[in-house]
Amino acid sequence: MKIVKVIIILVFVSCVTKSSGQNFELGKVSTKELLEKFHAEDSTAVAAILFKKARTFFSYNSISGFTVNHEYIYRIKIYKKEGLSWANFEVPYYIGYEEMKDESVKFSNCVTYNLENGNIVKTKLNSEGNFKKNMNEYWREASITMPNVKVGSVIEFKYILKSEGIVKFPAFKIQYDIPVNYAEYITEIPEYFIYKPILTGYLKVKVEAKYVSGFQNFENKYNQSAAISYTQINSDYIAENIPALKEEGYIDNIENYRSSIYNELERTHFPEQPIKDYSITWEGVAKTIFENKSFGKELNEQLFLVPDIKTILKNVVSEDEKLDVIFKFIQNKMNWNKEYGYYTDKGVKKAYADRAGNVAEINFILIAMLKLAGINVNPVLISTIEHGVPIFPNRTVFNYVIAAAEIDGKQILLDATHKYTTKNILPFNTLNWTGRLIKQDGTSQEINLVPKLPSKVNYTLMTKIDGLGQITGKLRVQNTDYEAYSFREKNAQINKENYLEKLENDLDGIQISNYEIENKDTDFSKPVLETFTFTSDNHCERIGNRMFVNPMLFFALTKNPFLQEKRKMPIYFGYPKQDKYNINIEIPEGYVVESIPKAMKIATEDKVLLFTINALAEGNKIQIIITREINAAILVPDYYEDLKQFFQKIIEKQNEKIVLKKV
């Protein structure tokens, strides 16, 4: 399985001739729409967008030149009380330009429609339901709260976003968490601007583009009427009967698969002027970021670390050991303030003195120390899972930075912000496809963040069944790599008593005693090792003169985690996994083995999915060895049917009981 298959799903534009046009206008709400009790295609929908239309067009004046306008109209139907939240609508807009005017948003035509005594009653929004607030120093938010909204209402509104920022249009969302009956986006772009459109998601969109004549009337610098004419390209994107985007299990970030249209400026070409290229390469992004004083300058701050590094590296010779000592030192000394970013906030010196800082400050200190130790190391920019997958080369697509060291030709990824990370074991939310390693000379390279080697959980059980069917034994569980990291993260704040209570419930009601654990809070590079004895009264069934035992005991799967008929989104596991069970059973005196499960192997052709079970009975002993592997972190939707059948066959195999017969 290759990640490129997933990317192909994301970056796809359907060029299909536009179907017969439909007319959607504000103010034309019908009685039929108001009487509708549920959505025709999705009876569970709490609301639906009956139509959404948008138009992006340019204006011109002699002072600012071309500016861009984004006009939107919506009609929304409320079906259930849970859908009343759609009466509130927010639009963020940018106010952080240094040489251009702030963007502006203006709502209009905001009306709620209800059916009262067979008559359509309109309630218009007044100024009390129209708000604006600052989100931060760069962004504001305009919002409305529609009046008199109840179950059955239809609401309509319009807004226009005006901006002098023409480099990137706001994303036009096609898909929402509720169904959309009709969505249309029209762009009218003068010939002077060349934009690159990209469609994300998996929906088919009808597209029509044509050249037409365009013109602008304006006042020149002498306050005289003037006009310019040009050719423009009008593009029309239409999608119909769009299902709600619903959360599915085993997904990284559902926003990566929401159908939307993005437009980014590639170049401009005005009459009698040279072509200006706006295309940004990843190298350009890397260079811009490195040149920022909160990045490159802070990375080069090293002298304040010299006294400590001399102390901690005393008598340390090898590069591997130096890396281990430095990483553990920074990990223990520094405390993450939960702030993301690849720029420093208060600076590495202050962060080091405070023993606390953001992601950049902590990992820049790590990088600086490694450099002082003579280790080749560079920063790697990352977009975390919740931040989304980068679509365009742009510095805003990243929100995190880690370190990439190189020793003996092998790359080692490091993040010292979290207390349980180790070499090449990163926080789960950073395992987001690829990162961008950047060097001081401005060059960069793509770094694969997806783990390739499986993280393992090995179970070893030594058990004994008595004549009453009670099972006693000892269990040893070994968690490696990401499984060990996951264990430490999940159980860091849980006391032993609560943990054992939860563990007994998870293992189907067994009773645990003599519990011991190794490497939970000590050497994080080693596996977490649990051992305990147990007693079980409900995993051996006695019927007549026979006993029936599930071959996986209390580890048996009871439910297939993949129940959907079809899957359109990739299946995300985070990292490859291997579970291995070595189960040894001593049968009670006076019984013989009548039957054991037959050996079986389930595997896809490429060995991405693998399940094996082998059982051997000899005298009063039974040994069962079971292996279950998912050898990929992400599976494309084509694997879904195989995955569903894979787990179903495992569940069915568990129904082949060990049968013991009394003699």
Q: Any residues with CB less than 8 A from the CB of 546 and at least 6 apart, and which? A: 594, 659, 660, 661, 662
Span 335-364, average pLDDT:
98
HEC states along 75-131? EEEECCHHHHHHHEEEEEEECCCCCCCCCEEEEEEEEEEEEECCEEEEEECCHHHEE
What's the CATH code of the domain at 343? 3.10.620.30
Handedness of CA 467, 472, 473, 479 (dihedral sign): positive
Judge whether residue 220 has pLDDT over 90: no
Span 530-548, average pLDDT:
96
**Torsion from C-alpha of 201, 207, 211, 213, nearest 10 degrees:** -90
What's the CATH code of the domain at 55? 2.60.40.3140
Q: For 569-582, how does the pLDDT look when each residue is reduced to its tens digit (9 = 90+)?
A: 999 999 999 999 99
Q: How far are the Cα atoms of 79, 123, 585, 620 from residue 543, in angstroms, in the given order?
A: 54, 71, 19, 20
Q: For 3-62, how does the pLDDT look when each residue is reduced to its tens digit (9 = 90+)?
A: 333 333 333 333 433 333 345 899 999 999 999 999 999 999 999 999 999 999 999 998
Q: Please tell me whether residues 516 and 615 are part of one structural domain.
A: yes
Q: Please tell me whether residues 222 and 337 are part of one structural domain.
A: no
Q: Please tell me whether residues 563 and 467 are part of one structural domain.
A: yes
Q: Please tell me whether residues 264 and 294 are part of one structural domain.
A: no
Q: Please tell me whether residues 142 and 246 are part of one structural domain.
A: yes
Q: Please tell me whether residues 206 and 298 are part of one structural domain.
A: no
Predicted local distance difference test score (pLDDT) of residue 20: 38
Judge whether residue 517 has pLDDT over 60: yes
Predicted local distance difference test score (pLDDT) of residue 9: 34
Domain end, chosen from 432, 448, 464, is at 448
Predicted local distance difference test score (pLDDT) of residue 22: 45
Q: For 583-618, how does the pLDDT look when each residue is reduced to its tens digit (9 = 90+)?
A: 999 999 999 999 999 999 999 999 999 999 999 999
Q: How far are the Cα atoms of 207, 208, 209, 237 from residue 18, in angstroms, in the given order?
A: 6, 6, 9, 8
Angle between helix axes 359-372 and 319-333 (nearest 10 degrees) is: 150
H-helix segments, 271-358: 282-291, 298-299, 306-312, 319-333, 348-354
Please tell me the distance from the alpha carbon of residue 587 to that of residue 584, in angstroms, as a whole number.
10
Q: Please tell me whether residues 334 and 319 are part of one structural domain.
A: yes
What's the CATH code of the domain at 584? 2.60.120.1130
Average pLDDT, the chain: 93
Q: For 131-186, how does the pLDDT look when each residue is reduced to its tens digit (9 = 90+)?
A: 999 999 889 999 999 999 999 999 999 999 999 999 999 999 999 999 999 999 99
Predicted local distance difference test score (pLDDT) of residue 23: 55
Domain end, chosen from 277, 295, 320, is at 277
Q: Please tell me whether residues 505 and 636 are part of one structural domain.
A: yes
Largest CA distance in the chain: 112
H-helix segments, 453-531: 481-491, 496-506
pTM above threshold 0.75: yes
pLDDT > 70 in the chain, percent: 97
Whether residue 141 contacts residue 91, with contact meaning beta carbons closer than 8 Å, is answered with yes
Q: For 291-325, how does the pLDDT look when each residue is reduced to its tens digit (9 = 90+)?
A: 999 999 999 999 999 999 999 999 999 999 999 99
Which domain range does residue 488 map to? 455-662
Q: Please tell me whether residues 289 and 258 are part of one structural domain.
A: no
With tokens 């670390």, the residue in question is 305
Please give the DSSP secondary-structure letter assigned to residue 193: E
Tokens at 352, concatenated: 């080091």
Judge whether residue 269 has pLDDT over 50: yes
| Residue 25 buriedness (CB in 10 A; 0-12 / 13-18 / 19+) | exposed
Q: How many domains does the chain have?
A: 3
Rounded to 5°, the CA angle 608-614-616 comes to 170
Please tell me the distance from the alpha carbon of residue 625 to that of residue 628, in angstroms, as a whole number.
10
Q: Please tell me whether residues 517 and 658 are part of one structural domain.
A: yes
Q: Please tell me whether residues 68 and 157 are part of one structural domain.
A: yes
Q: Please tell me whether residues 241 and 288 are part of one structural domain.
A: no
Domain end, chosen from 448, 479, 511, is at 448
Tokens at 250, concatenated: 């085993």
Region of 148 please: left (phi>0), alpha (psi -120 to 50) or beta: left
- Residue 398: pLDDT band with limits 50, 70, 90: very high
